[in-house]
Amino acid sequence: MSTGTGSSSLVVLDGHTTNPGDLSWQPLERLGALHVHPRTPASLVAERMAGATVVITNKTRLGEAEFAAAPLLKGVAMLSTGHDVVDGLAAAARGLPLCQVPEYATASVAQAVFALLLELTNRTGSLNTGVHQGHWSNAEDFCYWDGPLRELAGQTLGVVGMGRIGAAVARIAEAFGMEVLIHRRTPGPNTTDLASLLARSDVVSLHCPLTAETRQLINAERLALMKPTALLINTGRGALINETDLAAALHQGRLGGAGLDVLTLEPPPASNPLLHAPNCVITPHIAWATKAARQRLIAEVAANVAAILAGRPRHVVNQPLFTPARSPAPGGSGPRQPPPAATPVAG
How far apart (Å, rounded) are the C-alpha atoms in residues 138 and 149?
Answer: 21
In contact, 119 and 140? CB cutoff 8 Å: no
Given its phi and psi angles, is residue 123 left (phi above 0), alpha (psi -120 to 50 degrees) or beta?
left
Active-site annotation holder among 16, 132, 266, 276: 266
Sign of the dihedral defined by the CA atoms of residues 135, 254, 257, 156, in that order: positive
Active-site annotation holder among 285, 296, 315, 336: 285
Helix axes 291-309, 106-122, angle to 10 degrees: 150
Active-site annotation holder among 94, 237, 294, 315: 237
DSSP 4-23: --SS-EEEESS-TTT-SSSS
**DSSP strand pairing (9-12 vs 179-183):** unpaired
Task: Name the 3-class secondary structure at 91.
Answer: helix
Task: Give the list of residues 6+ apart from residue 269 with CB closer than 8 angstroms, or none.
Answer: none
How far apart (Å, rounded) are the C-alpha atoms in residues 267 and 261?
Answer: 11
In contact, 250 and 257? CB cutoff 8 Å: yes
Asked if 266 is an active-site residue, the reply is yes
Q: Is 55 exposed, middle or buried (0-12, 13-18, 19+ CB in 10 A)?
A: buried
Listed as own residue / partner, the contacts of 190-194 with beta carbons closer than 8 Å and 24 or more positions apart are 191/162, 192/158, 194/160, 194/222
Q: Which residues are catalytic?
A: 237, 266, 285
